[in-house]
């Protein structure tokens, strides 16, 4: 389960995903509408080809074994007492000097033979695809779109049409190689310019990364992007498979548990007229068909082996063509018939829903509630938050700044009853029983999930940066303080960090619980009046400095989690008995991530969320805005999420008091 924390992502579980800033649309890229209502097929036409940097991306480094063991022990220190730490330290030293050294040398040698990829890519796919738990709650996160700034464009049909067309423009732009490469610009005035792009496009792909590096720009891996569309995770015994069919031209729409498909790309590869797409979507929204007594989508919520058996039953029962339509669809658009009541309801709706109106195995579901509230719910094995957030940013920008239809648009006069196919499935008693059981299991699981929201309004990024502090570090410190206050201990904590700066990079783990956060938390929680304001300020600064160091190391592929995971995977695949190091209770404990956290930053997204990765954990999605801090936290009954957020608020309050010099202390 611990590895599931690499979900957002979940969110990209999204550090680094903020590299895709929403750029203003240049006048030259405005949509041109012709007399017949046709539109531009592309979002933009990048001077630099989409995959221009891919060939020359640096390879994900394998850290030195000594560094990995040192970082691992540093992360263990706040979680163990002295006797436990001595035992773990000895096991780690023995591993470093013995079997660990052998495995490390084998991993390095294997990596040298596979320069087209990264050492973590294969094992990470296996980790996801071999997991047998349901993808719902255990893996799939969601990210909710911000509302369209023009209120009338949030109408469900209008927004669904515009987002669908923008998603198709993204697909076309990506496949044509016209999508701007994903680049993290540290000095945009030098690298994010027309002059630089005109220069770099003529630098051979084998050298282009180095040209970007010279102006402090870091191109990111884009190898995952093709899986955004026409892709589905197929359940198989023991290990699932990823399926992609780029030839398919249809959209899958779910409403009220019913399945509909229609073509959105014509035979020439062009996007269908938006008013025709709107007409077909209106037809689906007007369909009064009852919800099916046995909603097929529930099967995608099941244990993967159970679902694999039932899928085979579906195929054997004559449903191959219908399933192929589902699997090959460009993406899945989900129409919900009820509006979103509040942020908690939004979280439940977009994270899991009722199990009947999502195809959770699709690369992503685009969900539209009755009031036009929209979100992306995505399956995590194929990719991470960087790709999904880039897609979400572009769809939001395009659908709001260059909408394909307006609230006044009249859908085209077309025969939607001929164009839209409603899929039917032949269900025998085994399948009906399987669907009923899946729904019961799903209902029982989601009933146990609680989600709470926090908005801390005293300040955010601007205030903390004025204090020369890392905003992320301060929020992570608040989580440590809160858990200590509520439960009296420091526990394994996970924060995801993208390693997309490297070829086929995935994620690395930042370990926010440190000796620094532990001593600072104890100073605030257990002895609040014993330290001066200046001392507490210094402790916060030390936490910030150390957290920033961990973040930088992780982004550069210099964490310890993926390296240790890769060594263990190699040992298992070559028949090496599990080393004592991995059998240590402390190793199991640090990978039982009670606090699983992820952050993202984008004007296109209001919030994101995911479930805890362990039964006694919290799933913490958070954002540090300019002037406030927002958290969406989930838990099962083993933890009290309401009380935890009260403690988070109190911890932030007390830190802000200290930073503002208002702390009642020994001063």
What 63-66 contacts at long range (C-beta under 8 Å, 24+ apart), as own/partner pairs, is 63/557, 63/558, 63/559, 63/560, 63/563, 65/96, 65/100, 65/101, 65/104, 65/563, 66/96
Round to whole Å and give the CA distance between 259 and 321.
13
SS3 196: helix
Contacts of 314 (CB under 8 A, 6+ apart): 323, 425, 431
Residue 377 annotated among the catalytic residues of the structure: no
The pairing of strands 595-599 and 618-624 is parallel
Q: Is there a contact between 593 and 75 (Cβ–Cβ < 8 Å)?
A: no
Q: Which helix (H) or strand (E) holds 535?
A: helix 533-555
Cβ count near 339 (within 10 Å): 13
Beta strands in 7-124 (DSSP E): none
What single-letter DSSP state applies at residue 5? Answer: G
Q: Is there a contact between 78 and 515 (Cβ–Cβ < 8 Å)?
A: yes
**The tokens of 202 are what?**
């003529």
Cross-sheet strand order for the sheet of 421-423: 421-423, 258-263, 250-255, 332-335, 364-368, 374-378, 142-145, 605-609
Q: Which helix (H) or strand (E) holds 485?
A: helix 471-487
Name the burial class of residue 640, with classes exposed (0-12), middle (13-18) and buried (19+) by CB atoms within 10 angstroms of its CB. Answer: middle
Percentages (nearest 5) of helix, strand, coil residues in the chain:
45, 15, 40
Round to whole Å and give the CA distance between 44 and 230.
22
Round to whole Å and give the CA distance between 618 and 562.
22
Task: Kindly name the residue from 380, 504, 592, 649 that is annotated as catalytic.
Answer: 380
The CA angle 488-138-72, to the nearest 5 degrees, is 50
DSSP 214-266: HTTEEE---TTGGGGSSEEEEP-SSS-EEEE-TT--EEEEEETTEEEEEESB-
- Is the CA virtual torsion 209, 210, 211, 213 positive or negative? positive
| Residues annotated as catalytic (active site), given as ranges | 380
């Amino acid at each position: 389960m611990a590895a599931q924390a690499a979900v957002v992502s979940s969110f990209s579980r999204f550090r680094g995903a903020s590299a895709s800033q929403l750029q203003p649309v240049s006048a030259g890229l405005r949509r041109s509408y012709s007399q017949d209502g046709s539109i531009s097929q592309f979002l933009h036409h990048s001077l630099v080809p989409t995959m221009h940097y891919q060939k020359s991306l640096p390879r994900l480094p394998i850290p030195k074994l000594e560094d990995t063991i040192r970082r691992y022990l540093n992360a263990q220190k706040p979680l163990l007492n002295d006797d436990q730490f001595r035992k773990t330290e000895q096991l780690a030293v023995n591993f470093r000097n013995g079997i660990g050294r052998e495995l490390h040398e084998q991993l390095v040698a294997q990596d040298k033979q596979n320069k087209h990829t990264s050492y973590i890519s294969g094992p990470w796919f296996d980790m996801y695809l071999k997991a047998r738990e349901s993808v719902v709650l255990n893996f799939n996160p969601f990210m909710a779109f911000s509302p369209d700034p023009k209120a009338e464009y949030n109408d469900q049909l209008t927004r669904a049409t515009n987002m669908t067309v923008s998603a198709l423009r993204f697909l076309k732009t990506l496949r044509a190689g016209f999508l701007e490469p994903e680049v993290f610009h540290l000095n945009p005035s030098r690298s994010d310019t027309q002059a630089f792009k005109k220069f770099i496009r003529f630098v051979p792909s084998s050298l282009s990364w180095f040209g970007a590096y010279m102006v402090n720009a870091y191109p990111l891996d884009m190898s995952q992007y093709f899986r955004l569309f026409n892709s589905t995770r197929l359940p198989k015994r023991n290990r699932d498979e990823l399926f992609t069919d780029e030839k398919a031209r249809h959209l899958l729409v779910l409403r009220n548990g019913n399945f509909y498909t229609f073509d959105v790309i014509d035979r020439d590869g062009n996007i269908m007229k938006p008013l025709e797409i709107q007409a077909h979507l209106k037809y689906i929204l007007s369909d009064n068909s009852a919800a099916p007594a046995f909603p097929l989508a529930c099967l995608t919520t099941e244990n993967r082996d159970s679902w694999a058996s039932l899928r085979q039953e579906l195929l054997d029962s004559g449903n191959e063509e219908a399933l192929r339509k589902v699997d090959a669809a460009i993406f899945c658009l989900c129409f919900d018939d009820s509006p979103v009541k509040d942020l908690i309801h939004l979280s439940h709706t977009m994270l899991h829903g009722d199990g009947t109106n999502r195809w959770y195995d699709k690369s992503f579901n685009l969900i539209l509630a009755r009031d036009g509230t929209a979100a992306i719910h995505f399956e995590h094995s194929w990719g991470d938050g960087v790709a999904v957030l880039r897609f979400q940013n572009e769809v939001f920008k395009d659908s709001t700044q260059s909408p394909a239809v307006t609230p006044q648009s009249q859908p085209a006069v077309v025969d939607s009853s001929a164009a839209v196919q409603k899929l039917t499935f032949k269900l025998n008693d085994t399948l009906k029983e399987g669907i009923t059981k899946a729904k019961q299991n799903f209902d029982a699981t989601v009933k146990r999930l609680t989600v709470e929201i926090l908005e801390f309004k005293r300040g955010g990024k601007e205030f903390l940066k004025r204090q020369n502090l890392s905003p992320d570090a301060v929020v992570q410190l608040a989580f440590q303080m809160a858990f200590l206050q509520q439960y009296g201990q420091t526990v394994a904590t996970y924060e995801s960090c993208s390693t997309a700066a490297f070829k086929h990079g995935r994620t690395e783990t930042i370990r926010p619980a440190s000796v620094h956060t532990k001593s600072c938390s104890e100073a605030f929680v257990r002895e609040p009046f014993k330290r001066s304001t200046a001392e507490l300020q210094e402790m916060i600064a030390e936490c910030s400095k150390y957290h920033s160091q961990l973040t930088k190391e992780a982004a550069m592929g210099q964490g310890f989690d993926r390296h240790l995971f890769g060594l263990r995977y190699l040992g298992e695949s070559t028949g090496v008995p599990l080393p004592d190091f991995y059998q240590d209770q402390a190793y199991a404990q640090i990978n039982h991530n009670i606090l699983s956290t992820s952050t993202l930053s984008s004007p296109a997204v209001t919030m994101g969320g995911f479930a805890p990765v362990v039964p006694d954990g919290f799933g913490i999605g958070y954002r540090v805005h300019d002037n406030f801090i927002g958290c969406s936290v989930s838990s099962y009954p083993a933890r009290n999420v309401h009380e935890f957020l009260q403690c988070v608020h109190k911890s932030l309050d007390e830190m802000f008091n200290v930073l503002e010099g208002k702390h009642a202390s020994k001063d």
